[in-house]
Amino acid sequence: MKLAAILLLTVLGLGAVLWGVDLTVVRQSLSAFDLRSFVVAWICYWLTQCFRCWRLQALLARPVPFWRAMSITSLGFLAINVIPFRVGELVRPTLLTDEGVPFGEGMAAIFMERLADILMLLAFLLSIGWAVDLPAGGIVVQGTDIVQAGQRLFGVSVAVGAGVLVLLTVLGERGLKYTDRLPAATVIRRFVEGVRAFVLRPLRMLQVMALTAAIWVVTLLAVWATLAALPGLPTNPGAVVFVWTLTLTGLAAVPTPGFFGGFEALCVAALAVLGADGDRSRTFAVLLHLGQFAFTVTLGSIYLVKEGMTLTDLREKARRTG
């Protein structure tokens, strides 16, 4: 029932985004839309999910079977998309405890995963100036220059993350003695041990970065497939990288109450820089977002049923652990 309410809110949000568009252009775009692109995109999303599972396995010191990692990853991303206030971020480390992975160690894996993604996004963000000619006044959305704000935000995030890794690696047990009296001492210890165990394995670090790059490349292929399905939109590699990078950067630099609306506005802003038609761009943005959201909800719901759980169960698990 709650999932149905979430889907209803999603439809209402999309309606607000599309309000005032030229329906003739939308109808023409949809009539020319190649549905095979959705098949290609969903294959890409499935491959992305597989790469995420392999990356999670590489980040953990304890072995977790692939299909169990797939279930945990799918449920985690479902929770992130449909449970408010980012409570869903706690679902994966919570579910990993059922596989014998301490909660702190699971959080360490998620921390390293996020740091790898931020590093990759920063690399793309720093390179988009070579991909397209940026406007002299920047790309301003809601009063914020997305590119500059994103470069500062992710640059600081990478610097802080790297500093934490160095600090935890160097201090080790000497640093932990100061936290042993805290209520969450065990979680902190497992977190530090998980991070140190990973940092001290350079080959695993290379494996994780290679898998992160694969995740991004396959996701970009899905974005390209959706762009190519709508005539009149740019499909060259630089445009694809620019649209996806700017969209993700904007969602972090200009937070909105929910992904729907903000995601579409950022897609449209990126395509406007490339000279694309606004109504056709909005159609693309909605189709891209709906395709990603539908895949996440479908796969997550399959594993939700398979595990005999509900969204309420996921939320309560995460809240109890948090």
Query: What sections of the chain are H helices per DSSP?
Result: 2-18, 23-32, 36-59, 66-82, 91-96, 103-131, 146-171, 173-176, 185-199, 202-228, 237-253, 262-273, 278-306, 311-321
Q: What is the pLDDT of residues 33-63, one digit of tens each?
A: 677 888 899 999 999 999 999 999 999 878 8
In angstroms, the CA 282 to CA 273 distance is: 14
* The residue type at 148: Q
Pairing of strands 144-145, 140-141: antiparallel
In angstroms, the CA 11 to CA 239 distance is: 28
Higher-scoring residue by pLDDT: 313, 96? 96
Decide if pLDDT at 199 tops 90. Answer: no
Decide if pLDDT at 320 tops 80. Answer: no
The whole-number pLDDT of residue 316 equals: 80
Higher-scoring residue by pLDDT: 254, 34? 34
SS3 per residue for 75-120? HHHHHHHHCHHHHHHHHHHHHHHHHCCCHHHHHHHHHHHHHHHHHH
Contact by Cβ (8 Å): 99, 62: yes
Q: Rounded to two decimals, what is the model's pTM? A: 0.83
Higher-scoring residue by pLDDT: 310, 10? 310
Residue 144: strand pairing partners: 141
Q: What is the pLDDT of residues 131-186, one digit of tens each?
A: 677 776 667 766 677 777 777 877 888 788 777 777 767 766 666 666 666 666 67
Residue 141: strand pairing partners: 144
Higher-scoring residue by pLDDT: 261, 256? 261
Q: At 257, is the pLDDT very low, low, confident or very high (cuts 50, 70, 90)?
A: very low
The whole-number pLDDT of residue 86 equals: 64
